[in-house]
Amino acid sequence: MASTAPTVELVHGASMPLLGLGTWPMDDAEAERVVAEAIGLGYRLVDTAENYKNERGVGLGLKASGVAREDLFVTTKFNKEWHGVDLAAEAAERALDRLGLDYLDLLLIHWPNPDHGQYVEAWQGLARLLESGRVKAIGTSNFKPAHLDRIIEATGVIPDVNQIQLSPLTTRLETRAYHKERGIVTQSWSPIGGSGTSVREEPLVLELAEKYGKTPVQVVLRWHLDLGLAVVPKSSNLERLEQNLDVFGFQLDPDDVMALSALDQGEASAADSDAFGH
């Protein structure tokens, strides 16, 4: 029996695995293969997005895995052209069609796109979808506390998840504190560091990998988990997929968690969601 990640209960009642498979930048063919392989290893959460252009491949991989739909947790995200009350519902239907599914476990607004000015309406649309049961949990991606304030004030509906760029190089302390206060689960994307900067090459990470007898990536993933974060690392390599899931049998010493957090390069190291989005 393959091991699976433990789950966290979300604010609207769904249970989400703490670790899942990220699928950017796989194409349909690669996504189909990797998703089926990952589920065979014990992954139960698969994360995709309209913008990744691989939802069809992800859906085929889910089906090929042979695992019952109710045992899987599928997340997708939609772009700014669907920012509207009715448009969000259309985005969900299109995603379901591409994935070949009857419902989504988690649907996220991919970026707030404040210049577009419609993310509050998009959130109102997600709140309706949650009531309809077509979506089991709703959330945001790349939202700052100011963006979250606006949607919560407008609707009274708290996101289940905010998925943000987060690693020891980009720790997002203020946003994490905001989430914790409101019961929003923080889910880390680019958890090993992106934009050409990889945490796995940091001398401290290499030192800790030796100390714990783990790979550098396993050490960094454990850092996320020890901070109470959910995480969606991407790999298309079978051995690394297996290693990424094998992080629940050890913990980092609190001093080591703090030392890794001290690698933080500040908020400016994250993509600025007031300026970037799609």
Rounded (5°) CA angle 236-257-194? 35
Q: Could you say which of 52, 103, 119, 178 is catalytic?
A: 52
Strands 138-141 and 106-109: what pairing? parallel
CA pair distance 57, 98, nearest whole angstrom: 9
pLDDT band at 198 (very low <50, low <70, confident <90, very high): confident
pLDDT (mean) for 64-82: 98
103 in active site:
no
Segment 160-175, tens digit of pLDDT: 999 999 999 999 999 9
CA pair distance 188, 232, nearest whole angstrom: 6
pLDDT band at 195 (very low <50, low <70, confident <90, very high): low
pLDDT band at 2 (very low <50, low <70, confident <90, very high): low
Segment 88-107, tens digit of pLDDT: 999 999 999 999 999 999 99
| pLDDT reported for residue 197 | 61
Backbone dihedral angles phi then psi of residue 33, each to the nearest 5 degrees = -65, -50
Q: How far is CA 165 from the centre of its chain?
A: 9
Tokens encoding 9: 């209960």
CB-based burial, 230-244: b 16+ in 10 Å, e otherwise: bbbbbbbeeeebbbb
3-state secondary structure of 140: strand
- Please give the DSSP secondary-structure letter assigned to residue 24: T
- Please give the DSSP secondary-structure letter assigned to residue 80: G
The CA R_g of the chain, rounded to the nearest whole Å, is 18
In which residue are the tokens 């995709």 written? 48
* CA contacts within 13 A on the Cβ side of 247: 28
- 0.95 exceeded by pTM: yes
pLDDT > 70 in the chain, percent: 98
Is residue 120 over pLDDT 50?
Answer: yes
Amino acid making up residue 25? P
Which residues are CB-contacts of 192 (< 8 A; sequence separation ≥ 6)?
167, 198, 199, 200, 217, 220, 221, 233
Segment 174-190, tens digit of pLDDT: 999 999 999 999 999 99
| pLDDT reported for residue 193 | 80
What DSSP element (H or E) covers 132? Answer: helix 119-132
| pLDDT reported for residue 3 | 77
| pLDDT reported for residue 1 | 47
Burial of 131 per CB tally in 10 Å (0-12, 13-18, 19+): exposed
| pLDDT reported for residue 65 | 98
CA pair distance 102, 104, nearest whole angstrom: 7
Segment 200-219, tens digit of pLDDT: 899 999 999 999 999 999 99
